[in-house]
Amino acid sequence: MSEISREILSVGDLNRAIAGSLEERFETVWVSGEVSNFKAYDSGHWYFSLKDEEGQIRCVMFRGRNGQVGFMPQSGDLVEVAANVGFYFDAENKRPIPSHPRAIGIITSPQAAALKDVLSTLARRAPHIPVVIYPTLVQGPDAPAGIIAALKNAEQENAVDVILLVRGGGSIEDLWAFNDEKLAYAIAASPIPIVSGVGHETDVTIADFVADLRAPTPTGAAELAAPRRDQMLQELDAIMQALLQRVSQRVEREAQTLDQLALRLSHALPNPDRMREQITGWQQRLNQAWLVRLDSWKRDQSHYQSQLEMLNPQRTLERGYAVILSKAENTMHAIRNPEELNTQDGFEVRLAAGEVEVQFAKIR
């Protein structure tokens, strides 16, 4: 038996090695089989499986190729196809999206309209979660390499728990960068879970299939990744109420048990005065233990309240920070980019003790 190689491969390296071996062994091959699970999307791509008695193979025929087919295939058709063999990714290997991420990363173009929508949604649902933007091109021949580089930057920094890969709608040509094979492997190999939100709900790309979770729109991706702060507070309050109710029920049960034991002892023992003293001692110990436990719960509740208070944006303002809000087009949103400042529009500056309206005379 041959000796096992000591070379250690990452999951992504192993995937690429398998894909390369398949592509070298099989170039263009003819395959016959029965069509099943055929789906034709509005993007123009066809997705289906070829099967026979011994197994099945998942297939995709892109828009540029299926235009040469003279008919619309249906599930159950027996066909012969010329195909290139590739290695794709099983849905069972997808990573779960964290329910409470410590930070959220966004990979998109800084000029994309989708970025504004995503930031607005995150600010509304989870203002306490930091957001890290990894800028890149999302259209054109250089876009796949830029997105791959952004994924590597996010992996190296290890500052976020989930990544939103987003882009607004467009033509199939505009979204073609998200069908790139190297990008698909990079998404599958990413150690950070990825939520894709590319185009509109009817737009489907290979990146959507490889990502750990697909959202119909960029805004939908933000909603899937960010927990609602008010909902978290409601859940915490419900847990506290349930805990208090269970404690109360437990105390009532123990009190009933104690009463029953006291009654049995008063009838069974020859020295009731001594047993009454013991019962009194047990009651005092129970009360003392209950007070200690209650104090512990109160401290835990105070700790949770202080943690929530730390997340209050008002505390940030009280530390000397300020927020500049734009009033352009009758919409209020926080200024995050100095390029949004100008000398024509009015702005609102919110401080710890209140807010003022300002207009800049000069911007350097």
What does the alpha-carbon distance between residue 206 and residue 58 come to, in Å, rounded to a whole number? 13
What pLDDT, on the 0 to 100 scale, is given for residue 10?
Answer: 67
What pLDDT, on the 0 to 100 scale, is given for residue 1?
Answer: 42
What pLDDT, on the 0 to 100 scale, is given for residue 86?
Answer: 66
Q: At what angle do helices 272-310 and 229-268 cross, to 10 degrees?
A: 180
A 10 A CB-CB count for 364 gives 3
pTM for the full model?
0.49
Residues of the chain with pLDDT below 70 are 1-6, 10-13, 15-16, 19-20, 22-23, 41-44, 63-64, 86-92, 268-272, 328-330
In DSSP terms, 167 is beta-bridged to: 198
**Secondary element (H or E) of residue 235:** helix 229-268
The 10s digit of each residue's pLDDT in 57-91 is: 878 787 667 778 888 899 999 999 988 776 655 66
Tokens representing 51? 């099967």
Q: What is the mean pLDDT of the chain?
A: 84
What does the alpha-carbon distance between residue 48 and residue 30 come to, in Å, rounded to a whole number? 16
Mark out the alpha helices in 49-90 (DSSP H runs). 63-66
DSSP symbol at 179: G
What pLDDT, on the 0 to 100 scale, is given for residue 91?
Answer: 61
Residues in the chain: 364
Cα 278 vs. chain centroid, distance in angstroms?
Answer: 58
